[in-house]
Amino acid sequence: MVSRVESAAATRRALVEAAAELLDEGGPDAVTLRAVGGRAGVSRGAPYGHFPDKEHLLAAVATKSWEAVRERLDALITDRGRAPSERLEQALTGLMEVGRRHPHAYALMFAAPTAEHPEAVAAVSRTHDQFLTIIADVIGDPQRARPIGGLLMSSVHGIVAMENGGHLTPEKWQTTGDELVKLLIDRIA
Amino acid sequence: MVSRVESAAATRRALVEAAAELLDEGGPDAVTLRAVGGRAGVSRGAPYGHFPDKEHLLAAVATKSWEAVRERLDALITDRGRAPSERLEQALTGLMEVGRRHPHAYALMFAAPTAEHPEAVAAVSRTHDQFLTIIADVIGDPQRARPIGGLLMSSVHGIVAMENGGHLTPEKWQTTGDELVKLLIDRIA
DNA sequence: GCGGTTCATGTGACGTTGTCAAGTGAGTCG
DNA sequence: CGACTCACTTGACAACGTCACATGAACCGC
């Protein structure tokens, strides 16, 4: 019923999910290989059968998070019932939502992926491509869409990062992240 | 000549500087209390005479970095030889420059300062105020300057963060961080 | 000057962490 | 059914943050 390779793949999935859960619940310090193994139902050394080191496990978590965002964008692109501008707004606010709901995982997604994690780099690239697809539908010229897309992506990320870092206090800036995204789309897209 | 409190203050300064140097040179993993003490010329336990724990030492590094940025802005504001718009551009590109030259310290500056570090929060607030001063000189209405300032600050931070994380590749977005800052100022300020 | 006090620093120790090497046992195949 | 494979367990080690205690020089009242 459960072949050996299937159970190995299941363990790998369980390890990544356990790491993601621990990251969500307790931040980076809570992600211990011992805790990850424990939650996944294996021992502390088991992860080394699936990942060369802790960094690669975290890269797998980042990859999974990026893939989840990409799937949201896929659904958005497939849904032909919405106007392009509406899709763009939903794409950007969707990213902000992820950053708010899973701040630590979000920070991990935007941390520098060392060149030793090609799968993470590929997942980021695929997701960015979907962003560009959505943006190009709003901006007619696909040549102009790329820099505009870079600015939108960077700006929204900055807003989320400032929010999560506690640097975007309403008292200081007299505004909120949501308002800034609206203002951004208004001025840029 | 060197009183006891003076030498203690000097040691504290040396510890913060050593931590900042190690952070620049080897990233967060290189900042161990043993290495910090060693570079500052004291033992591994000496930092505990000046900081309750490692986190507070890092908060002092972040505070110092923010103060350095604020001093740059102070000089920019005092310099009456420049047009307000030029001052704004220099303020934003100056922040980007800091992010490029000291990526790890920059990341530390924008990490979430827990409420237990009021000095760090105060340094951030003071620096943001100077940003707002410069921005208000460009935007006439000081009421409108605050949200605009929040958007500019967040966006530039996002650009720097994307750059440092390797997520702003020219091939993908057909642009650079410098171009995006220019585009941002053009559209927003 | 001088004895007692204060306090920054040095040192030994402990629990935890990431990591590796050796061992183990269940699943797999001829 | 026997030998092999391979994911997993366990023991061990160095490094880390942190604490308790020891030390010695700078300070202060006399």
Provide, in whole angstroms, the distance separating residue B18's CA from nucleotide C18's C1': 25
- For residue A91, the Cα-to-chain-centroid distance in whole angstroms is 12
Q: Do A154 and B166 touch (CB under 8 A)?
A: no
Residue B173: strand, helix, or coil: helix
Q: Chain A contacts of B63, Cβ < 8 Å? A: none
From-to residues of CATH 1.10.10 in chain B: 1-51
CATH topology for the A55-188 domain: Tetracycline Repressor; domain 2 (1.10.357)
Question: By C-alpha distance, which of A153, A110, A122 is closest to B103?
Answer: A110
Query: Would you state the pLDDT for residue A114?
Result: 81
Q: Is A174 left (phi over 0), alpha (psi -120 to 50) or beta?
A: left
Q: From the Cβ of B41, is strand D under 7 Å away?
A: no
Model confidence over A44-80: pLDDT tens digits? 999 999 999 999 999 999 999 999 999 999 999 999 8
Angle between helices B142-164 and B103-110 (to 10 degrees): 130
Question: Is residue A156 pLDDT above 70, yes or no?
Answer: yes
Find the closest chain A residue to B149 by CA distance.
A173
- Which of these CATH numbers, 2.40.160, 3.40.30, 1.10.1740, 1.10.10, describes A1-50? 1.10.10
Question: Is residue A1 pLDDT above 70, yes or no?
Answer: no
What CATH architecture does domain B1-51 belong to?
Answer: Orthogonal Bundle (1.10)
Query: Would you state the pLDDT for residue B1?
Result: 58
| Strand C positions within 7 A of protein Cβ atoms | 7-12, 16-22, 27-28
Q: From the Cβ of B48, is strand D under 7 Å away?
A: yes
From-to residues of CATH 1.10.357.10 in chain B: 55-188
Walk along chain B (189 residues) in steps of 10 and give the mean pLDDT of each run: 76 98 98 98 97 98 98 96 96 98 98 89 98 96 94 98 98 98 97
Q: Are B159 and A158 in contact (CB under 8 A)?
A: yes
- For residue B69, the Cα-to-chain-centroid distance in whole angstroms is 6
Question: Is residue A6 pLDDT above 90, yes or no?
Answer: no
From-to residues of CATH 1.10.10 in chain A: 1-50
List residues of chain A with CB under 8 Å from any CB of chain B. 110-113, 124-125, 128, 132, 143, 146-151, 153-159, 161-162, 164-168, 172-175, 179-180, 183-184, 187-188
Q: Compute the distance between CA of residue B183 and CA of residue A154 in angstroms, rounded to an integer.
A: 12
Model confidence over A13-37: pLDDT tens digits? 999 999 999 999 999 999 999 999 9
- For residue B12, the Cα-to-chain-centroid distance in whole angstroms is 20
Pick from B162, B172, B183: which is nearest to A157 by CB? B162
Q: Do A180 and B154 touch (CB under 8 A)?
A: yes
| Strand D positions within 7 A of protein Cβ atoms | 6-11, 15-20, 26-27
